[in-house]
Amino acid sequence: MFLEGKTALITGAGSGFGQKMAIAFAAKGANLVLNDINESGLEETRNLVLKQSNTQILLIKADVSNSEEVNEMAKKTFETFDNVFLLVNNAGIDGGLYTALKAKEEVYDKVFAINVKGPLNVTKAFFRRMKRQKQFQPISGKIINIASVAGTPNGANPMLGIYSASKAALIAFTRLFALELGPSNITVNAISPGVFLTPIYNNDPKLIRQFLETRNVKIPIDRIGEAEWVADLALFLASPTADYITGQNLIVDGGMSISINKL
């Protein structure tokens, strides 16, 4: 129960990976702050968590791209809890299928606002309090950014050009935050999933297979990912076993990104 007495805040917790991480963290004793713009999704996540764990849960509807709403979220969080040990920047959108040069300006603005400015807004709203959490020594807090294989050099995806660039920026911010917050004993890492069955792909394995075939992508461990595997990796990063890991981007993709043009 290594998260007992610790609060985990997850953005985009009303669906997909965010929902599975909420269940996984609560099972290790965490209290939860669950954020999303989708209130019914948040309620669904709360019900799923409470089926398995008796934990304190605060639901906060807020748009991560709006710094005022994010600052209000920080205020509400600390009215209820005395810490945020674990901060997971998970909310993200793909913005549709466009090559980078054909994407409309609005697509760029929206995808970067949610996928890049969102994690920056949330981290800025919480890091000062996280730094002061000496009760958890040797580590005061942990930040996990959910990026994507599409943001890595091997995985850059021309059909999701804006999304790819946004996730590459998030991986860069992960390293920058790790440098800035390391001296305060806060670890910052990214997780980059490959293709996983979540609502972002309409929960449809056929759609994913088609997508892989059109791009001639093969996965060495030839399975489509299940959202729990991302939650398990987040749990590892949240655990004391990972206290000396920071500034890293952990890829969980069945080997997809090392196999491009090789299988």
Ligand X SMILES: NC(=O)c1ccc[n+]([C@@H]2O[C@H](COP(=O)([O-])OP(=O)(O)OC[C@H]3O[C@@H](n4cnc5c(N)ncnc54)[C@H](O)[C@@H]3O)[C@@H](O)[C@H]2O)c1
189 binds ligand X (CB under 6 A): no
- Closest approach of Cβ 36 to ligand X, in Å? 5
Task: Using the minimum distance from each CB to ligand X, give the nearer residue, 37 or 133.
Answer: 37
36 versus 173: smaller Cβ distance to ligand X = 36
What is the distance, to the nearest Å, from the Cα of residue 180 to the centroid of all Cα atoms in its chain? 20
The footprint of ligand X on residues 203-262 (CB under 6 A) is: none
* Residue in 98, 108, 163, 201 annotated catalytic: 163
d(C-alpha 239, C-alpha 235), whole Å:
6
Q: For 38, left (φ over 0), alpha (ψ -120 to 50), or beta? A: beta
Interface region with ligand X, contact rule CB under 6 A, candidates 10-18, 98-106, 210-218, 240-248: 10-18
Q: Is 161 in the site for ligand X (CB under 6 A)?
A: no
Q: Is 162 in the site for ligand X (CB under 6 A)?
A: no
Bond prior to 220 in cis (omega within 30° of 0): no
Q: Are 247 and 179 in contact (CB under 8 A)?
A: yes
Considering only residues 9, 14, 142, 219, which one is a binding residue for ligand X as defined by CB under 6 A?
14
Q: With binding defined as CB under 6 A, does residue 185 bind ligand X?
A: no
* DSSP category for residue 182: G
Cβ pair 27, 50 in contact under 8 A: no
- Choose among 70, 42, 91: nearest CA to 200: 91
Tokens at 42, concatenated: 């948040």
Least distance (Å) between residue 5 CB and ligand X: 26
Residue matched to tokens 């595997």: 229
- In the set 15, 121, 123, 185, which binds ligand X (CB under 6 A)? 15
Segment contacting ligand X by CB under 6 A, of 2-10, 120-128, 198-206, 237-245: 198-206
Write the burial class of residue 9 (CB in 10 Å: 0-12 exposed, 13-18 middle, 19+ buried): buried
Would you count residue 119 as binding ligand X (CB under 6 A)? no
Task: Assess contact for 33 and 43: CB atoms under 8 A.
Answer: no
Tokens for 162? Answer: 């804006």
Does residue 16 interact with ligand X by CB under 6 A?
yes
DSSP-derived 3-state class of residue 253: coil
When asked if residue 12 is in the footprint of ligand X (CB under 6 A), the reply is: yes
Q: Is 201 a catalytic residue?
A: no
Q: Point out the residue whose Cβ comes nearest to ligand X.
A: 16
Using CB under 6 A as the binding criterion, the count of chain residues that bind ligand X stands at 30
C-alpha to C-alpha distances, 207 to 154, 198, 210, 213, nearest whole angstrom: 22, 11, 5, 10
Site string for ligand X, 56-85 (x = CB under 6 A): -------xxx--------------------
Tell how far CA 188 is from the center of its chain.
Answer: 12
Phi, psi of 261 (to 5 degrees): 65, 15
User: Exactly one of 77, 121, 148, 187 binds ligand X (CB under 6 A); which one?
Assistant: 148
Closest to ligand X by CB, 202 vs 239, is 202
Show which residues are catalytic: 163
- Rule CB under 6 A: which residues touch ligand X? 11-12, 14-18, 35-38, 41, 63-65, 90-93, 114, 118, 146, 148, 193, 195-196, 198-201
